[in-house]
Amino acid sequence: MHKKLFSMVVCIPLFFLAACSSDGQVQNEKGSAPVTENSAVKKSDDVDKTFVTTGYIVKKDEEAILVIPKITKDEITGKNEEELEKLSKEKYEGKGVSFKFDNMNEIDKDTISALQVGQKVTIKHDMHGLSAPAYGGNVLELKIVKE
């Protein structure tokens, strides 16, 4: 009787612990794609743990660029950098991805210097942070989209 009671007291909590642990692992695997409202930020299937962001550059300074996937060409046409910054803060706050120039070691210097506000870009990167704006990590590929 004591053996059955002891085994029930030990086994039942272990069973629940194991079930909760494996459930969390499944959620982690399913949750490995970025949690974001950026529909153009997608986990790339060709290389493990890479992401692709396609959008317009709305801000460029000495340290980084800010790319907003959901902004449209019509919204940025005819606006200066101040107006774009205001639009990005009011309508798209937290929906962009920031890429630091220090993390663009794989990208040709001429390509980096050619980046301008208003350009559409496709960027393959190794991280998608949950901050606002999200941090893109290391840039693996960068293409300026010709429109």
pLDDT (tens digit, 0 to 9) for every residue of the chain, 147 residues total? 666 666 666 656 555 555 554 433 333 333 434 434 444 555 545 446 889 999 999 999 999 999 999 999 999 999 988 898 888 888 988 688 999 999 999 999 999 999 999 999 999 998 866 565 688 889 999 999 998
Fold of 41-145: OB fold (Dihydrolipoamide Acetyltransferase, E2P) (2.40.50)
Cα dist from 16 to 11, 25, 28, 51, whole Å: 9, 14, 18, 35
> CA 101 to CA 30: how far, in whole Å?
31
What is the pTM for the complete model shown? Answer: 0.66
> CA 69 to CA 75: how far, in whole Å?
12
> CA 59 to CA 91: how far, in whole Å?
15
* Annotated domain spans of the chain: 1-31, 41-145
Please count the CA atoms within 13 angstroms of the CA of 142 that sit on its side-chain side.
Answer: 26
Cα-Cα end-to-end distance for the chain: 78
Query: Rounded to 10 degrees, what is the CA torsion of 140, 112, 56, 119?
Result: -140
